[in-house]
A = this chain, B = another copy of it.
């Protein structure tokens, strides 16, 4: 038979990055295309200990159904922890545990937007979120960025011209894909616009704890006096991405609706991972653990950037990240970025992600590509960046 799919999903495609990752099955290819945490960042021994004790002493807790909102002690811990970072307001916020940060963003969209309503986001933007929003047939509008975050004039223009703007989606810290961090001034200005134009800010903060240089900047959620910010984060980069354990702090009425939608989506998130996460976060020296992660990513980032600084064609510009997992490189305007990325993987056996994968309109011209330093080993970074540097010189300097 012939299958007819719903309008909202019929044009939805698998992430373009998945297509690139297929090349990386070739053992000769060195991949800078993924976004996985460094394997050495997983606290494997402590997780094994906690899990063994849990399955020994409290197996039914780890195996039985639990409540949709999330494992209660984990929720209580998260409320306190996020409070201490000003990302949870005890007076009006509530909190839910989600199946990764991805579900947090998807459900926020489902709960708040009708088909045709407008969701604004940074351009370029994280592809996983873009596709989640696309799957609800919303009017998705990208707003260009400056080096310190979204361009305020263009944002205000979009607010004035787009219909029913309900959500502005932002990754203020070490944005995926650009690695950019939004300045404190811009965070305040964006929040003011939210109050003036009456929309919700969806602040996605998967990398916030992974700052390895520069000063911490308060979250937009910390500025939230009116209850307009949904703050989502995840343990994916702090404990384990395979856990699929994320969390959302937002005004209680929004959390209530997200709970109902999560209940019909997957009843609750894997409970073993929630209990292990809770026991991990409450029994380790968190500062020491996070510092260890920051040190891993600082080292890998500096290693990667040293090749760009010293060996890339100087026609390539890039944004030096202060945290997170990615470096955003830009080719000169006369260079065909898609041809560059294809050549990189096919001839030079180096996989990078073409910038237009992160465009709101995929046909838009982009001159950038994304490099990831968390997944490859240091040796792969050195070898791969050496080759990529040679390629940039071959193509741009000859």
B-contacting residues of A (Cβ < 8 Å)? 1, 3-9, 12-15, 36-37, 39, 42, 44, 47-48, 51-52, 55-56, 59-60, 62-66, 99-100, 102-103, 106, 110-115, 117, 128, 131-132, 134-135, 166, 198, 226-228, 236, 240-244, 251, 253-254, 257, 259-261, 263-273
With A198-B1, A244-B269 as given contacts, are A263 and B228 in contact (CB-CB < 8 Å)? no
Complex Cα distance, B63 from A263, in Å, reads 25
14 contacts between A and B (CB under 8 A): A4-B112, A6-B110, A7-B114, A8-B114, A13-B260, A14-B263, A42-B60, A42-B63, A65-B241, A99-B99, A102-B266, A135-B261, A244-B269, A269-B270
Chain B contacts of A117 at CB under 8 A? Answer: 6
CB distance from A331 to the nearest CB of B (A): 28
Among A131, A254, A264, A266, find the residue whose CB has the most chain B CB atoms closer than 10 A: A264
With A106-B264, A111-B9 as given contacts, are A55 and B64 in contact (CB-CB < 8 Å)? no
List the B residue with the shortest CB-CB distance to A269.
B244
Q: Which of B60, B134, B253, B263 contacts A39 (CB 8 A)?
A: B60
B268 touches A244 (CB 8 A): yes
A3 touches B244 (CB 8 A): no
Complex Cα distance, B136 from A111, in Å, reads 11
B1 touches A62 (CB 8 A): no
Integer count of this chain's copies in the complex: 2
A257 touches B5 (CB 8 A): yes
A272 touches B242 (CB 8 A): yes
Complex Cα distance, B48 from A52, in Å, reads 7
A270 touches B270 (CB 8 A): yes
CB distance from A384 to the nearest CB of B (A): 20
List the B residue with the shortest CB-CB distance to A228.
B1
Q: Which of B15, B64, B134, B226 contacts A37 (CB 8 A)?
A: B64
Additional pairs, 12, CB under 8 Å, beyond known A42-B60, A100-B267, A110-B135:
A6-B112, A9-B110, A9-B260, A14-B263, A36-B64, A37-B64, A44-B59, A44-B63, A63-B241, A99-B270, A106-B266, A132-B264
Chain B contacts of A7 at CB under 8 A? Answer: 114
Chain B contacts of A8 at CB under 8 A? Answer: 110, 114
A55 touches B59 (CB 8 A): no
Chain B contacts of A226 at CB under 8 A? Answer: 1
CB distance from A194 to the nearest CB of B (A): 10
Q: Which of B13, B56, B60, B112 contacts A48 (CB 8 A)?
A: B56
A128 touches B257 (CB 8 A): no
Chain B contacts of A42 at CB under 8 A? Answer: 59-60, 63-64
B3 touches A240 (CB 8 A): no
Complex Cα distance, B240 from A244, in Å, reads 17
Chain B contacts of A4 at CB under 8 A? Answer: 112, 166
